[in-house]
Structure 1
C-alpha cells in the first residue's frame, strides 16, 4: 500500500550550502525490524550536518543521494517495526537517525530502538532534540575520556572547555561542574555571562591574548581540555597541561590524528585523544533525567520552521550560534 507524503528538506549532491537545500514531498518511511517511525516535533542542526554536505566526510557520508540531513530529533512514536519492545505508538521520545541514511529534517523520521530514549513531560521537544550529538558528545568527553565522576566523588581536576557557548561546550560546562572540577572556559565576549551562569569558574574571551594562549587566569594547569573548535595547534595546548594532561578533540583533523599517534609512540604523558561518538541509550536516559531534575539545561540559540530550514542551516555554518539551533515542522 502506498505511503502518504511528507515535507522534507534534502540535497542531491556535495556542495551548494544553503542554495543546495531543496524542499520536497516524499513518502513517509516505513519502519523495519528494530526501527521506530517518529513524528518529528523538533530537530537540531549540528556542524556535522553541513560538513557532510560540503563533502568533508566523503566517502563515508552520505551513503547515497538524494539525502535528507539532520541527526537529532524529538517527537512522538507513530509506528514500530517488528521486534521493538520498549516503545509503542503515542510515546514521547528523543532519538538519533542513522547518519548514513539521514532523515532528521522531515515531518517523520526512522530511528533505531537502541538509540531512542523516553522523554518525560518535563522535557520539551526542543530541549530533548538538542541532547543528541552535542549532549552525548559532551557526556562521553567528560565522563569517559576525561574520567570525571559526575557524582562529585572523584579527585579534584582542572578542566578547560573551548567554545563553551556552543552546542557541545554548553553541555560540557554543566556536566563538568557535576564533578569535583574547576572549569575554565573560552567563548566570545558577548557570551561570558552566560557561560559563567552555566557554572564555569573562569571564562576567557578567546580573542584576547590570554584567550588565544588558553591561559587560566588563576594560573592553573589543565588535567583535561574538552576541545570544541578547530585551528588550535598542539603547541598552544602543551604548556598549559598538567604532567598527565590530555586534550580531548571532538573534531579531530588529520594533524590531530598525527599528534595523537606521535604522543602514543613516544610514550608522552601528555596526550591528544581524538573522540568518536558512540551513542548509548543509557547515556541518553542519564542526560534526560538531568534535564528533568533541573541539573542540565539546553541553551537554545534560535528556532526555525522546517519551511525555513535554510535559515537554520546558514546560522550553523556561520559558526557563532549560542547553544542549539532548533528546527520545528
Structure 2
C-alpha cells in the first residue's frame, strides 16, 4: 500500500502554544507511514481529553508537544489499513481502539499511526465513538480504583466507600461504573442537570456540587470515604479531610503544584490520610479489559456530543468549557 505515501489527508493542527479553538488550523498533510511495530489506521472516531488543550496551552512544556506544528488528540478508534514491520497481532481490515502518544498526537486527522503496544481489537458490539472514549479517561479511572483505592472489580474484597467528584465528566462517568463492579458504596458529585444520569450509571448517592452539602462533600448517609477519585481542580485538602476514613486517600487525577505539596506534607507528617497524585500509565491489557466490558454491556461510554472533523474547533471549545457530560467525540 505504498500508494498512501503520496496521498494527502485532512488534519487539524496548531503551530504554537495558546490560541484555544481559534488556534486550530485545517490543513492537508501527507498520510503518515507506519514504522516498525506501528499500524496505520483509517480513523472513525477520536475523543478529546482535557490534557489535549492543556498541552496546547503550554501547561506540559517542554515535554509536550514534541514539535510544532502538532496534530493533537490521542484517543482513537478506526480500521487497520497497513502494518509496519514486526507487527504480528493485527492485519488490514481489523477494527481497533488505540492510544496515541501525547508527544506526537495525531488523532484529529483522517489517518493516524498507532503503536502496536497500545492498540487493541474492537469487537463489532463496540461502536467507534464508544471505543474512542476509553483510552485516557477509562484507563485513568481503572488505575485509580484498582491500584490506589485497591477495589477488586470482580466484586470480591471488603466493602469500600468511594467518592467520585465531577462524576458526569469523562473520567468520572467511567469511575462510577467501574467502582460499582466492585464491592463499593459510591457517592458522586455533579451539577444538578446530571444527577439522574449519574444515578443511572450506578451511583448510590449523588450530590449537587452547588449545594452546601455538595460543596462540603458530605455523604448523605454519613459515610466516611476510604478513597476519593478526584476529577476536578480547586477543592482544598481541608474540604476532604473531615470526610475521609482513618486511612482515606484522595486520588488526584489532575495534580498541580499545590497537590504535590500536600502530598509531600502528608508523607512528612506520617498522616494516615493521604493525597495521592495519579499519573496514568497506560497498559494494553487494561485497555483490552475495558473494551471487553463495553462489549459485555457492563460499561458504557456516555457521549456528550459528536462533531465532524471539519468542525473540530467546536469540539475543542466544548472540551475547554469544562461542562461536557461524558465524552466529546470528533468523527473524520
Cα displacement (A) at 1:71: 0.7
* Contact map agreement 1:3 1:29 (CA 8 A) in 2: no
Count of paired positions: 329
Secondary structure of 2:232's partner? coil
Q: What does residue 203 of structure 1 align with?
A: 206
The 3-state SS of whatever aligns with 1:93 is strand
Cα shift at 1:50? 0.5
CA distance in 2, matches of 1:179, 1:17: 39
Residue 212 in structure 1 maps to residue 209 in structure 2: no
Is the Cα–Cα contact under 8 Å of residues 215 and 240 in structure 1 kept in the other structure? yes
3-state SS of paired residue (2:81): strand
TM-score calculated relative to the size of structure 2: 0.98
Structure 1 gap ranges (5+): none
Instruction: Please name the residue that 1:74 is paired with.
Output: 77
Partner of 2:307: 304
Counterpart of 1:83 (choices 79, 83, 86) is: 86
Q: Which residue of structure 1 aligns with residue 235 of structure 2?
A: 232
CA distance in 2, matches of 1:98, 1:225: 28
Moved more, 199-208 or 2-11: 2-11
Partner of 2:15: 12
Deviations 1:286-318 (A, max 9, x none): 101110010000000000000000100000011
Distance 2:196 2:101 in 1: 36
What's the counterpart of residue 176 of structure 1? 179
Partners of 1:68 and 1:103 within 8 A in 2: yes
Tell me whether 1:138 sits opposite 2:141 in the alignment: yes
Structure 2 distance, partners of 1:256, 1:189, is 27
Q: Which of the numbers 150, 160, 164 marks the counterpart of 2:163?
A: 160
Tell me the residue number matched to 1:37. Answer: 40
Counterparts of residues 217-296 of structure 1 (less than 5 Å): 217-296=220-299
**Secondary structure, in 3 states, of the residue corresponding to 2:219?**
coil
Q: Secondary structure at the match of 1:256?
A: helix
Shift of 1:265: 1.8
Taking the aligned partners of 2:26 and 2:104, their CA distance within structure 1 comes to 18
- The secondary structure found in structure 2 opposite 1:58 is coil
Q: In structure 2, list runs of 5 or more residues that go unmatched.
A: none
- Quote the residue 2:195 is aligned against: 192
Q: Which residue of 1 aligns with 2:58?
A: 55
TM-score scaled by structure 1? 0.99
